[in-house]
Structure 1
Amino acid sequence: MSFLWHITSLLLLHSCTPGFSMHDGIVGGKVSIPHSRPFMVYIRDSKTEAVCDGFLVREDCVMTAAHCKGSHLKVYLGVDDTNFLPDGVAVHPFPHPQFKSNTPGHDIMILKLKTPATLNKTVKTIALPKKENPKHAILKDCMVLGWGLEDYGRGPPSSVLKEANVTLLDSKKCRTKDTLCSEGTTGPAEGDSGGPLVCGDVAHGIVSYYKKESNGELCTRYTDISQYLKWINCSMKPPTLQQYETWKGNLDKLI
């Protein structure tokens, strides 16, 4: 299981590496209305040219998958067509400290923008869950978005944003505590890593990995954002506030 997940996650991350092609992009979806999803973020490593997706959750924070981490990441906001990218914004990556590339779980990362975004019609944030959600409380009809190939293993990546509806499986079928999952050949694959699983205008999940089940069906896993709210809130605090709370905590222990 861990070896298969490791291979799959690498495929998701490196789908746009020259000469490489497997299951790419949002398959079986439709082209999004230009700029109708202003929270979507295109992520690219300027050195390796590997790409991922992400979504804006605050003016200075983008959320994505931890396996998308790179040394030269830049985010592109307000993108519809990747042939016409705006200036990229450099970021400080903060992957979850328990994430390991050879095992599933904790596949979540915050990218702090070195220059905060200016919110407007084409650049907006998306809401996160306000509390840890019981699996049965999340809407089952959701949407995934991304840039990528329009068919499995054939053709160039789509330059425009695509989206597809997916139906979440029962939590018992998902089998892992910190993930949500959907089944079928419609949805995300390589190149869509880090993109949001949107249910009812709230980002509930992050595209993480997929695997073939014993019945031959393709099952896609999404990091369940609601399981990480404490870590998210802590990671998104301004550095000065984090330093103050650490200092205060140490002082309280001394007292």
Structure 2
Amino acid sequence: MQVYIWLLLPMALLLPPGARSGEIIGGREARPHSRPYMAFLKIQDGKNISHCGGFLVSEDFVLTAAHCNGAKITVYLGAHNLKSKREQRRQVITARAKICHPRYNKKTQNYDIMLLQLEKKAELNRCVNPIRLPPAHQRVRPGTKCSIAGWGRTSPHIKLFADKLQKADVVVMPDATCTYCRSNYNPSTMLCAGDPEEGKNPFEGDSGGPLVCRGMAQGIVSYGSANGTPPAVYTRVSIFVPWIEKMMRKLQP
């Protein structure tokens, strides 16, 4: 197990267990609780603690990246300011089960998706609510405007991490853009987003968060460049909808 899993690899935005969460580059603070599906994950492996993003897809299931796995994962729902003690609707729930896709490859980051079953059902309200998944195998056209969010670093030159949820709008790019500049990019299971000219991108600590397009979670933050330059690579959620639904049915009492 790596110790500094949240540290970026040479060509990756990977945030596995062992460091701290990251912030959106080129973003701004989100309106509090405007993204009620957002989850903040605290990952513990012995004495090592790291963080990831995630998103609620039902009362008792959260989706995130497979490289965000760890011995114990605690899920925070209904959060905006992580340091605030006044968020009365914040819910803290331990993950009962962690289901990484069986074909997940740590070296290539292919199949970078993990389903978390919560120890108990979340109480749904205006601050905590699931996001829709796309139809199975739906493709997102290049040029589609989407949004990302997270609690991480805003710059490779600043080591501080966001206390408040940050957001940014990004555009889906042609697969060829990531095939050219991102190693191990697989168009069948991955999605490319982030215009280099706009400079908006997830960064250290945003792994596992959703790429939201037209109200649906179309992607999961997976990896990108070490300096945070767009585009970033996302797990293509629609490809995994049958697997997600199968696992959820299997784990339901």
How high is the TM-score relative to the length of structure 1? 0.81
Offset at residue 46 of structure 1 (A): 3.8
Structure 1 residue 238 displacement after superposition = 4.1
Structure 1: runs of 5+ lacking an equivalent: 242-255
Match 1:147 to one of 144, 151, 159: 151
Q: CA deviation at 1:9?
A: 4.9
Equivalent-residue separation in structure 2 for 1:13 and 1:200 (angstroms) = 28
Q: Distance in 2 between matches of 1:130 and 1:61?
A: 18
Q: Give 2:69's aligned residue.
A: 69
- Kept after mapping to 2: 8 A contact 1:139/1:199: no
CA shift for structure 1 position 152: 2.0
Match of 2:232 among 203, 206, 220: 220
Cα shift at 1:211: 3.0
- The answer to whether the 8 A contact 1:208-1:221 is kept is yes
Residue 173 of structure 1 aligns to a residue in which SS? Answer: helix
1:219–1:233: structure 2 CA closer, same or farther, 3 Å change rule? same
Change (3 A) 1:212 1:153: closer
Report the CA distance between 1:45 and its aligned residue: 1.4
The corresponding residue for 2:16 is: 13
Q: Could you tell me how far apart the structure 2 residues matched to 1:239 and 1:98 are?
A: 19
Contact (CA 8 Å) 1:146, 1:195: kept in 2 or not?
A: yes
The runs of 5 or more residues in structure 2 that have no matched partner are: 1-7, 180-185
Cα offset, 1:90, TM superposition: 1.1
Q: Which residue of 2 aligns with 1:157?
A: 161
RMSD between aligned residues: 2.5
Matched, 1:180 2:191: yes
Tell whether the 8 Å contact from 1:9 to 1:67 is kept in structure 2 after alignment: no
Q: How many residues align?
A: 229
Shift of 1:133: 1.1
Question: Does the aligned pair in 1 maintain the 2:36–2:130 contact within 8 Å?
Answer: yes
Instruction: Map Cα deviations across residues 214-237 of structure 1 (whole Å, 9 max, x no partner).
Output: xx9643000000111111111111
Distance, in Å, in 2 between the alignment partners of 1:70 and 1:130 is: 29
Q: 1:126 to 1:150 in 2, by over 3 A?
A: same
CA distance in 2, matches of 1:135, 1:79: 29
Per the alignment, residue 248 of structure 1 pairs with none
Residue type at the aligned position of 2:31 = I
Question: SS of 1:228's equivalent?
Answer: helix
Give the conservation status (yes or no) of the 8 Å contact 2:42–2:74.
yes
Partners of 1:13 and 1:50 within 8 A in 2:
yes
Secondary structure (helix, strand or coil) at the match of 1:117 reads: coil
Equivalent of 1:25 in 23, 26, 30: 23
The structure where helix makes up a greater share of residues is: 1
Decide which structure has the larger Cα Rg and report it: 1
Deviations 1:11-34 (A, max 9, x none): 5235744xxx9xx41011110011
Helix, strand or coil for the counterpart of 1:237?
Answer: helix
**Shift in CA distance, 14/130, structure 1 to aligned 2, threshold 3 Å:** same
Identity across the alignment (%): 35
Q: Which residue of 1 aligns with 2:3?
A: none
Partner of 1:130: 135
State the shift of 1:8 in Å.
Answer: 4.9
TM-score by structure 2 length?
Answer: 0.82
Question: 1:42·1:54 contact (CA, 8 Å) conserved in 2?
Answer: yes
Indicate the SS of the match to 1:118.
coil
